[in-house]
Each structure stands twice: as structure tokens, then as C-alpha cells.
Amino acid sequence: MRSPRLTLAHPAAGNEGKAFIGAAPLRARMKLGITDYVDCAHHLTDHKKCGFPHGHTYRIDVTLDSQQRGDMIVDFAEFKERVRAVLAKYDHRDWNSTLKVPTVENICELLHGELRKSFTYPITVRVWEGVDKWAEL
């Protein structure tokens, strides 16, 4: 027997046969997440403390929200690969070359917009600037 293929297609998009392992019934809603990191520089013009170029290690949490069917929502390897493809464009770069005002809120909005193109499931993106400051969309 051939094993079924697993992709990141959402059942609402009419891709029931591609999104799930087998034809198992729907189960509880579940969130599935990964964490990755990027190191970036930035500065906030005219800001008292952050007006000078400096850097952060940004922790990026990405969460998929899905109705579970079968034993697996998504293959973690594929999930990580899609997230890393987006984050790689910014790692060891200066946010000011991409955003006029690179606050954690604007960084989160940028990453959410790009990452949601990679998934058909609803996603949440949380961007941590340091260990105790974050924005989520």
C-alpha cells in the first residue's frame, strides 16, 4: 500500500486529499508552532536610547492553527523550511534597509505578511526583541 502524501494545504481550500494523512475524521483544533532566530541591526531615528545603530537576536515564534485530521497536521521539517526561507532574507541584515521605522511592531507585521503567503492555514507570528519585549500578529 502506498503511503499518503502530506502537504500544507488547508481543507477549506478544497484540498482535503492533500492536506492530511489518510481520510481520518476531523479532531480537535490544534496549534502547532516552531521557534527560530535572526540577528539583525537597526536604529530608530531621533529615539533617545535606540537612535544609534545596535543589534538584537530576534526570536520568531510561528504558530499554525488547524483542525487536526489524522495523526499529523504538518511535517515539522517542511514547516521549518518554509519559515527559514523567509527569515533568511533578514538574518544578519539591517532592518532599516527594509523598513522606514523598524520597531518590533513593524517587523512583526512585515514577517506575518510574508509568512502567511507560505501557508494556507491561519498563522500567528510573535517577534521577540530581546527576552522581555514582543509583538504578535
Question: Tens of pLDDT along 4-13?
Answer: 333 454 544 4
78 is catalytic: no
Name the catalytic one among 43, 50, 109, 136.
50
Residues of the chain falling short of pLDDT 50 = 1-7, 9, 11-13, 15-21
Choosing from 43, 56, 92, 105, the catalytic residue is 92
At 71 the pLDDT is: 78
Q: pLDDT at position 74, please?
A: 86
Query: What pLDDT is stored for residue 37 in this prediction?
Result: 98
Residues 6+ apart with CB under 8 A from 37: 57, 58, 59, 60
Q: Any catalytic annotation for residue 108?
A: no
pLDDT score, position 7: 46
Query: Can you identify the CATH homologous superfamily of domain 27-136?
Result: 6-pyruvoyl tetrahydropterin synthase/QueD (3.30.479.10)
Check: CB of residue 114 under 8 Å from CB of residue 125: no
Q: Which of 16, 40, 129, 136 is catalytic?
A: 129
Taking the complete model, does pTM exceed 0.85, yes or no? no
